[in-house]
Amino acid sequence: MFNSGQASWGQLNTISGFLGQIGGWDIKDNQMAHIVSMWEDANSYHYFMNNMHDEIYQNIPQSPSIQHIEEGTFAISLPFPEVKETADYFTDSSCIRIEQFLFNRLQKFHFTQVLLPGMLSAGNVGRTLFGESYKQENLFLTVTGWDSLEKDECYPENRFPELFQAADIHTYADLAEGFSFVVEKNWIVRKTSTC
């Protein structure tokens, strides 16, 4: 029921500010689903949540299958990728790893001002997005995509992606939470081109 309902969210693609959405079932718990949705800015997201989300949700036969929902919103703290690149990020990944890190203020400054710019300029980030929580201070998110399910990085628990190992990030932050999921292709929603 949830799977068929999630495939019905395609109408998101025409909503102003929407960039893309991807999701799938947790690798360790097949009763848990993860959804990652990206918006151009916080105003677009909040307008959708306050004015459109409930109407779409009520018209999709999905709610009886949902026992519990947890939501987090994060601001991308680096220059946002172009819309085309964002859409490619969503559709080109077969497996997604989501990790949340807790920093103290000094650690966060060093990570965002020194480590991340260095990794970006060296071209080492691959298909990874970084964001800071709107709700919890010093909570940082990474969403990393891989082309192949066979790659080892997607599966292990409490293991930092290779780009973080190279930057020795484990000395700067604690892994607060981590999830991996296999992408369900019929859950992917891409922004409709206006060209």
pTM: 0.78
Instruction: Measure the CA–CA gap between 183 and 26, rounded to whole angstroms.
Output: 9
Per-residue model confidence as pLDDT tens digits over 117-156: 666 665 545 567 788 899 888 888 888 877 766 654 554 4
Distances (CA, A) of 14 to 19, 142, 162: 10, 26, 36
Q: Retrieve residue 18's tokens.
A: 């929407």
**Top-confidence range, 61-65, 89-93, 127-131:** 61-65
Mean of the pLDDT values across residues 106-112? 72
One-letter amino acid of 180: S
Band of pLDDT at residue 176, cut at 50, 70 and 90: low
Does residue 167 or residue 190 have the better pLDDT?
190
Residue 81: per-residue pLDDT: 53
Distances (CA, A) of 71 to 15, 37, 84, 134, 194: 20, 11, 26, 11, 29
Percent of the chain residues topping a pLDDT of 90: 18
One-letter amino acid of 174: D
Residue 36 has pLDDT above 80, yes or no: yes
Instruction: Measure the CA–CA gap between 191 and 51, rounded to whole angstroms.
Output: 19
Q: Is residue 182 within 8 Å of residue 3, measured between CB atoms?
A: no
Does residue 106 or residue 48 have the better pLDDT?
48
